[in-house]
Structure 1
Amino acid sequence: MKRVDLSRSKVPEITVLFWVTKVLTTGMGETTSDFVVTSIEPVIGVAVAFVLLVGALVLQFRTRRYVPWVYWLAVVLVSVFGTMAADVVHVQFGVPYEVSTAGFAIVLVAVFILWFRTERTLSIHAIDTPRREAFYWAAVLTTFALGTAAGDWTAHVLGLGYLGSGLLFLVAICIPAVAYAFFRVDAIAAFWVAYIVTRPLGASFADWLGVGHDRGGIGVGTGTVSLVLSAAIAVCVAVLSRQRSRTTAASPIV
């Protein structure tokens, strides 16, 4: 048996609530990005999102352990900026969705290769040094950009629409879960595949709720969806914080 030193952990435990919160952040990042770039000058919106992201990551790196609100603030801002980055590649530079999807996938593979060659592991249970944390957040940011491009590709190029894409990725995220549970697929590989899929999963359903009928949505409004998802994320983080405070004092046996 090995005891986990929770005081050194910089990332959360992988629980059902982790996945719920992660999907909520992906949807919130998508609709918030859309709302911001359509409400103010896109260049200003992207610049502000980048500054806020840098600030959140600096705060995250300066903490000595996993602090739920700090960690999830960084994830939310990664989601917002990652969405903007993927959209800029397509809208401003005219890169087709299939090309940007492939490009971000190559970047992610490169991050994983460099991470593994340097640290000999891709496990998120070993994020206990600044260098490993840097690799972790590089991978997280790239997964958000990749997921955004992939979701837009299925919705627009393949013609599935937002609801169709959401249902497709809902099925897709079950594959690594089933593979891990019943076929003993490597836990680290299953985690990262599922992590990538959460981005287009949450974003597709959020877009379907937020955008107008002319774009294949039901027209709730991206601002409204962002506010509702933000409130849901706040509740999840509050629960995670309470759970963290209860378990930090004891080091569980795994």
Structure 2
Amino acid sequence: MTSNENIGALAPALKEPAHRPITVLSQRSTPVLGARYWVLITMCSIAGCNLGDFISLYLNLGHWIGLAPLALLFAILLIGERIGRPSEMWYWALLLVVRAAATNLADFFSHTLNIDYSWTIAGLEGLQVLLVLGVSPRQRDEASGIYGRPATDGWYWAALAIAGALGTAIGDCTAETFQLGTAASTAVLGAIYAVLLVVGFRTHWSTQASYWLAVVAVRAAGTTAGDWLAFPDGGLGLGLIISTILTCSIFIGMPMVWQRRLADFG
């Protein structure tokens, strides 16, 4: 047996469906819900906040029109994953686009339409529950170990977008309405996120609630962290250009530098 055959024999087989919808990523393009996943999604939440604000505020596209180029980019990435080489970078690129769009979506409701945060949060929370009911359970196979991997489909991406918008509204509400500021809000929301991570890992992300509550929490903390980096009011005040380049560069580089390891499988 050759060395390549040895590698193939040791690697867990990933069975792909013969025909899959365009919104369903290859299993080789979908990360496992291990520690690496949650570190990357944390950075993605911060980068997505800055990128969304950069598109709507710095490029002056506004919260509503700014969604159009992001929707186009999302479609291009889905097609690229289908015709290109499977890689987790497709998932992370799609997630960054969804996070940026979620920032603009939440700001459209709360800032453009001037809907009170309480109503915005309540409405998004109700919609999130309805969408999660349609999301498939985690994919579990030999290659994904005890944690499984997200089952990506149209329901999943829609639920991610609304979860991101909900987290954005919660983060802004905490910093503005509760007047905690971006620094203190990041600490409080980050602590809640940490607790949810502990619960999720101890239960192996066995329920929909454990996963989606953590996703909303990381988006809330990522919103205030991104604002803390970009804006001077209680933050570092790096500006949208520098903060967007910085956070997006770190996020894009992380999955390439931190390759998936067997430890992530459980």
Query: TM-score, structure 2 length as denominator?
Result: 0.77
Q: Which residue of 1 aligns with 2:175?
A: 155
Within 2, Cα distance between the matches of 1:144 and 1:48?
18
**C-alpha distance in 2 between matches for 1:237 and 1:253:** 16
In the other structure, the counterpart of 1:243 is 260
Match of 2:70 in 1: 49
Q: Count the aligned residue pairs.
A: 234
Q: Hey, what does 1:6 align to over in structure 2? A: 14
Correspondence 1:207-246 to 2 at 5 A: 207-212=227-232, 215-240=233-258, 242-243=259-260
Identity %: 24
Q: Does the residue aligned with 1:76 lie in a helix, a strand or coil? A: helix
Deviations 1:101-146 (A, max 9, x none): 111111110011233xxx5x35683656xxx522221221111111
Which residue is equivalent to 1:187? 206
Q: How high is the TM-score relative to the length of structure 1?
A: 0.80
Give the structure 2 partner of residue 30 of structure 1: 49
> Are positions 1:76 and 2:96 aligned together?
yes
Distance 1:5 1:198, change over 3 A: farther
**Contact 1:155/1:165, CA 8 A, preserved across alignment:** yes
Q: Does 1:146 align with 2:166?
A: yes
229 and 52 in structure 1: CA distance in 2 versus 1, 3 angstrom threshold = same
Displacement of 1:165 in angstroms is 1.2
Q: What secondary structure, in the 3-state scheme, does the structure 2 residue paired with 1:12 have?
A: coil
Output the amino acid matched with 1:57. L
- Write out the 4+ residue segments of structure 1 that deviate beyond 4 Å after TM superposition: 63-66
Give, in angstroms, the shift of residue 49 of structure 1: 2.2
Amino acid at match of 1:15: G
CA offset digits 1:232-254 (Å, max 9, x no partner):
112212135x438xx7xxxx997
Is the 8 Å Cα contact of residues 127 and 133 (structure 1) preserved in structure 2? no
Whether the 8 Å CA contact 1:209–1:219 is kept in 2: the answer is yes
RMSD of aligned C-alpha atoms? 2.8
Distance (Å, rounded) in 2 between the aligned partners of 1:23 and 1:190:
16
User: Displacement, 1:20?
Assistant: 1.5
Distance 1:7 1:63, change over 3 A: farther
